[in-house]
């Protein structure tokens, strides 16, 4: 039997109006849709974003454990890939939905690695989505780059001192996964006199979206979850 097609679709940061036309058209065309969620009891944010486009669609929710145990995660990703492989092998067109861009700090990447060993390349398609930092910059009219400027996109390191040479080497630094390190990062930026050139954003595109350039006000706020911090040498 001729296999169907698999589509990994980036949904953007959370605002349904930031879905691309290609994402919408593909979602409407496929036979079934897989959506990830962190817990059995929680609603899927990905499904909420596309709810107006999946009516009467077969939707399958896949639960991914919230753990850093690689063996547990690998087992979950392999199981998810096997489920999708079964559907595609039956000739069905299948979509997998993921927040942001599928190939930027996304669990989709791990799923893709397994699927790439199971399915031929020509049936695997990845559709880009708007990243949280692109959306945050646009919402704040905060230019990311001009001319010959250089950009770094990094997860915040465990050792904050590792940030200093990166901040010195690049014109713009986008920090993802700020969470527990927010206060330490702010302190470093103050020491480097960069705190006035920063933009902090969390829950971009969602109802609880928050943006500010006042980093001092964030100290002790605990606002690091689902956030991004952008810093420029000069604004």
Mean pLDDT of the chain: 91
Q: What is the maximum span of the chain, computed from C-alpha positions, in angstroms? A: 63
The mean pLDDT of 15-31, rounded to a whole number, is 96
pLDDT bin (cut points 50, 70, 90) of residue 235 is low
Specify whether the CB–CB gap between 44 and 11 falls below 8 A.
Answer: no
pLDDT score at 225 = 72
Q: Fold for domain 132-232?
A: 3.30.950
The radius of gyration of the chain from alpha carbons, rounded to an integer in Å, stands at 19
Distances (CA, A) of 225 to 80, 111, 210: 26, 24, 11
Chain segment 107-140, per-residue pLDDT in tens: 899 999 999 999 999 999 999 999 999 999 999 9
- Answer yes or no: are the C-beta atoms of 11 and 129 closer than 8 Å: yes
What is d(CA 141, CA 144) in angstroms, rounded to the nearest whole number? 9
**Domain positions in the chain:** 6-127, 132-232
In this predicted structure, what is the pLDDT of residue 30? 97
> Structurally, what CATH architecture does the domain formed by 6-127 represent?
3-Layer(aba) Sandwich (3.40)
User: Strands across the sheet with 198-202, in order?
Assistant: 151-155, 172-176, 227-232, 198-202, 210-212
**Cα 128 to Cα 1, 10, 13, 132, 232, distances in angstroms:** 29, 5, 12, 13, 26
For a pLDDT cut of 90, what percent of the chain falls above it? 70
């Amino acid at each position: 039997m001729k296999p169907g097609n698999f589509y990994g679709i980036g949904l953007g940061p959370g605002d349904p109006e930031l879905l691309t036309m290609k994402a919408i058209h593909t979602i409407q065309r496929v036979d079934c849709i897989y959506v990830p969620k962190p817990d059995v009891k929680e609603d899927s944010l990905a499904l909420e974003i596309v709810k107006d486009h999946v009516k009467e669609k077969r939707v399958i929710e896949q639960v991914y454990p919230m753990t850093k145990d690689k063996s547990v995660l690998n087992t979950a990703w392999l199981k998810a890939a096997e489920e999708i492989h079964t559907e595609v092998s039956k000739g069905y067109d299948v979509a997998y939905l993921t927040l942001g861009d599928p190939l930027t700090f996304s669990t989709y990447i791990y799923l893709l690695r397994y699927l790439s060993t199971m399915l031929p390349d020509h049936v695997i398609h990845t559709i880009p989505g708007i990243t949280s930092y692109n959306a945050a910059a646009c919402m704040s009219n905060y230019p990311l780059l001009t001319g010959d400027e250089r950009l770094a996109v990094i997860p915040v390191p465990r050792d904050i001192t590792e940030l200093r040479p990166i901040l010195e080497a690049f014109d713009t630094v986008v920090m993802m996964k700020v969470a527990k390190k927010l206060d330490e990062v702010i302190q470093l930026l103050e020491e480097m006199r960069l705190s006035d050139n920063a933009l902090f954003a969390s829950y971009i595109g969602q109802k609880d979206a928050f943006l500010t350039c006042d980093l001092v006000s964030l100290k002790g706020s605990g606002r690091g979850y689902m956030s991004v911090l952008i810093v420029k040498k000069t604004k």
